[in-house]
Chains A and B, each alone.
Chain A
Amino acid sequence: MANTALKAREKLPKSLTGIQGLDEITEGGLPKGRPTLVCGSAGCGKTLLAMEFLVRGATQFNEPGVFMAFEETAKDLTQNVASLGFDLDALVADKKIVLDFVYIERSEIEETGEYDLEGLFIRLGQSIDSIGAKRVVLDTIESLFAGLPNPLILRAELRRLFRWLKEKGVTAIITGERGEETLTRQGLEEYISDCVIVLDHRVKDQTSSRRLRVVKYRGSTHGTNEYPFLIDEDGISIVPVTSLGLGHNASMDRIPSGISRLDTMMGGKGFFRGSTVLISGTAGTGKSSICAHFVDAACRRGERALYFSFEESPSQIIRNMRSVGIDLEQWVKKGLLYFQATRPAFAGLEMQLTMMHKATIKFDPQVVIVDPLNGFITGDNIIDVKSMLLRLADFLKTKQISSMFTQLMSSNVAHGTSEIAISSMIDTWLVMHDIEISGERNRCLYITKSRGMAHSNQVRECLITDHGVELCEVYVGAGGVLTGSARIAQEAQELALTLTRKQEVERRQIEIESRRKALEAKVAALRAEFGVQEAELMKIITQEQAQASQLLTGRLEMGLSRSAD
């Protein structure tokens, strides 16, 4: 996105600063060959920004630079920026950077008539030519007004100086102290009008935040918002998060949640890669445990997970998760899991966002956990929190990072609302709440929404066992939804009933069998009786037949004996 913007605006040549985020806001850096005014109140990071511009120029873009300091000596400067990892001594020795401290002591100087600043020009010109500098920093040139008399001459000379810098073709940063009503105390913005950047350091609700704003940039479009920035061991980093659009690609890739039953509820495949998952629930419903499962599953796949904890320390999380059978320590040791634990009150919202942004870029994870979101809400800043989370979610989506946020709800709130109204930016929303019935509290989980996939509408009971979170079906019956021991009692009752029925069936089957046996016995007896009778009858028949034939034979014999004719 930033690249296309760069290509579209090649009309005005720009010089990349190399400062994280600034090049995106300015769409390619500061105006090349022109002076830029950086102003702000004391301690807002002007000198640092200017110095980083020079150092990055010298080390990354092969553009040597001259730093002309009016307030700090070269030694002080070198020491101050050493904490940011800049080795000025080495750069000076390599002829990449020239440090020139201009010392003005008002009491030593007497003005006796017309003068000009040719000496300054010569010195600067000499320094620029000695290393072929492309970048120049004048920090803080307004000190001249305190050191030299006759502001009228100074103004004319400064005007000439800026013109001269332009002729020299060097990209310059001129720093200025913030004035009462003007951007700078001496109104330098009148002379340097190509690009003006204002830095600000403010404290709100006892947390300080630094912000940067590009007030004007002649001949170029630029991000106009106030962007928070951080100064840490890597120098300055600015997060232009609000400039992100809705241009992210939607992945079809699915990643398991680490709880197989939960995956089953989402069509058996789990979340979409790069989606935003919100788990909201009342205290102690197992939100963090679900996060731990998700992290564990990601690390098992060899992916990297970044865990932002705002309530517990890393070791506490590891200990707690071990009690439910999830060993997160192994992933920390393998470098796949990184915990960043801070109190939300440690810094302002913008700073928290900046830090999360920075940590994400640095660790390059596939999975990010934010646990929990609630700590950010202090008083009436809900709108700010929402906007911050929206930007965070957008950023993670553009990076195709799957994220899981947890949110504590103070009570079982009505469906469709949440304490921080962020449901619109959430892709998959799991709600966990507890049901208190017959003297015990049980956890329930359901999917309120899950964009782009078929998902179960069933409430599941969530059991936290010593081998992780398990989901099981709740008892839904005439008596309502039952969970926990009520569910177990109901199930036992049902089991008993089933058993009784089964026994009854068995009893009847036995009866049938015995009846059948009785019948068969009777049939056998009858058959036996019939067999006896049959045998007897057959015997009689045979005898009868024998007698009849004997009678005939006897009659014939008798006839023969009578000699009948």
Chain B
Amino acid sequence: METKLTEPKEVYVLRLYVAGQTPKCMMAFVNLKKICEEHLAGKYQIEVIDLLENPMLASGDRILAIPTLVRKLPEPVRKIIGDLSNTERVLIGLDLKRIK
């Protein structure tokens, strides 16, 4: 399901904001990992930020909802909230797939 819209050499810098190891956060991380492996193998970085440990970082990316996945690169910045269980919507959010 690789889309032709993205440049093959583009690196995806992804940042996942969580707040402790809640089931939702754990789920989000698992889902993200799976999606990246399937669609962005070898060209992604995931940074997990736990706001309980670093609350100051919340305002930087204007985080309200938890979990939030921020696509830092490629630009523009996109935000995806929720536990990433809806794969279709995650792909749309990451611009890996157009809405049909």
Contacts and interface: CB of A to CB of B under 8 A. Distances in A.
Interface stretch (A55-63, A110-118, A538-546): A110-118
Contacts of B78: 108, 110
8 contacts: A110-B90, A112-B89, A113-B83, A113-B85, A116-B24, A118-B51, A120-B65, A125-B55
B14 interface: no
Looking at B63, B76, B82, B89, the one whose CB has the most chain A CB atoms below 10 A away is B82
A379 to B, nearest CB: 52
B66 A119 contact: yes
Interface string B3-36: 0000000000000010100001001100000000
Those 9 A-B pairs whose CB atoms lie nearest each other, nearest first: A110-B93, A113-B82, A118-B66, A119-B63, A113-B85, A113-B83, A112-B82, A118-B19, A126-B55
Given A103-B62, A119-B68, A122-B51, A114 B24 contact: yes
A112 B68 contact: no
Contact of B67 (A100, A108, A115, A144): A115
B56 interface: yes
B97 to A, nearest CB: 11
A120 B64 contact: yes
A165 to B, nearest CB: 16
Interface string B75-100: 01111111111100110110000000
Given A123-B59, A126-B58, A112 B64 contact: no
Interface in A22-47: none
B52 interface: yes
Interface of A: 100, 102-104, 108-120, 122-123, 125-126, 144, 148
Contact of B63 (A108, A111, A113, A123): A123
A118 B51 CA distance: 9
A119 B58 contact: yes
Given A118-B51, A126-B55, A148 B77 contact: no
Contacts of B79: 108-110
B66 A117 contact: yes
Contacts of A148: 64-65, 81
Main SS at interface, chain A: mixed
B80 A104 contact: no
A116 B66 contact: yes
A114 B84 CA distance: 8
B92 A110 contact: yes
A115 B86 contact: no
A392 to B, nearest CB: 49
Contacts of B62: 102-104
Looking at A102, A104, A108, A113, the one whose CB has the most chain B CB atoms below 10 A away is A113
Given A108-B76, A122-B52, 10 more contacts: A102-B62, A110-B80, A111-B89, A112-B83, A112-B85, A113-B27, A113-B83, A114-B24, A115-B83, A123-B63
Contacts of B81: 109-112, 115, 148
Contacts of A109: 79-81
A122 B55 contact: yes
Nearest to B85: A113
Given A118-B51, A119-B17, A125-B55, A102 B64 contact: yes
A111 B56 CA distance: 24
Contacts of B24: 114-116
B58 A113 contact: no
Nearest to B56: A126
Nearest to A144: B64
Contacts of B68: 115, 119
Contacts of B59: 100, 123
A168 B24 CA distance: 25
Contacts of B52: 122
A119 B15 CA distance: 14
Interface in B33-72: 51-52, 55-56, 58-59, 62-68
Contacts of A113: 27-28, 82-86
A113 B30 CA distance: 13
Nearest to A104: B64
A26 to B, nearest CB: 31
A100 B17 CA distance: 19
A93 B77 CA distance: 31
Contacts of A110: 78-81, 89-90, 92-93
B90 A117 contact: no
